[in-house]
């Protein structure tokens, strides 16, 4: 029995503290809050303002404006992330399009070079054909005995081109005046072309 009395005495200080100090303090604060609110004092605003400066209480006390600002801030962050992702996609697309433009410009340049080369080749070919016609006209007027050694000493392709621009009679007379081996070679080349 004595042990029971000792246990109750040891518990009594804690219970005594609760009933003597904590509960009355809570009841007094509650009544003060009600009385001040009825009297027209903005107690919640005062608690929020003063409580925001207290480290532990500030986490529990936040105004509607702060909540709204936090919501807006989070929404703005999400929008920024979405726009950054879109910006990255657009930058990738721009890079891809720039590469395509470079490829097309290179292809265009190649085509222009081919075109100018073919025009140059056409111009060169026309000039070459004109020279051959002029040379053939000169050999038409020459004596076959004098024309034969000249044509015989020309490049085979050039000699063939000149001979093909001459009439059959003049060609025959010039070939008759050439060395038989060279005349045979030129005649064979003319038959291939």
Q: pLDDT tens digits for 13-58?
A: 777 777 778 888 889 988 888 888 888 877 776 666 665 566 555 5
Question: For the chain, what is the mean pLDDT?
Answer: 80
Distance CA 68, CA 74 (A): 10
DSSP, residue by residue, 116-162: HHHHHHHHHHHHHHHHHHHHHHHHHHS-HHHHHHHHHTS-HHHHHHH
For residue 91, what are its two tokens? 């930058």
Average pLDDT over residues 110-132: 75
Per-residue confidence (pLDDT) for residue 193, from 0 to 100 = 63
User: pLDDT digit string (tens) for 56-83?
Assistant: 555 555 567 777 888 999 999 999 999 9
Q: If you compute the radius of gyration of the chain from its CA atoms, what whole number of angstroms results?
A: 56
């Amino acid at each position: 029995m004595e042990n029971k009395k000792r246990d109750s005495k040891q518990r009594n200080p804690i219970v005594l503290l609760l009933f003597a100090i904590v509960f009355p303090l809570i009841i007094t604060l509650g009544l003060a809050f009600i009385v001040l609110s009825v009297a027209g004092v903005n107690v919640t605003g005062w608690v929020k303002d003063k409580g925001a400066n207290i480290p532990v209480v500030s986490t529990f006390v936040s105004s509607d404006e702060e909540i709204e600002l936090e919501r807006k801030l989070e929404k703005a962050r999400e929008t920024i992330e979405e726009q950054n992702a879109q910006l990255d996609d657009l930058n990738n697309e721009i890079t891809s399009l720039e590469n395509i433009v470079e490829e097309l410009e290179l292809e265009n340049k190649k085509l222009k070079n081919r075109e100018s080369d073919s025009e140059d080749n056409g111009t060169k070919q026309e000039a070459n054909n004109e020279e051959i016609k002029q040379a053939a006209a000169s050999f038409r007027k020459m004596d076959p005995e004098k024309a034969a050694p000249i044509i015989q000493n020309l490049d085979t392709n050039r000699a063939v081109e000149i001979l093909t621009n001459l009439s059959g009679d003049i060609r025959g007379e010039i070939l008759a005046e050439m060395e038989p081996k060279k005349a045979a070679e030129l005649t064979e080349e003319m038959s291939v072309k």
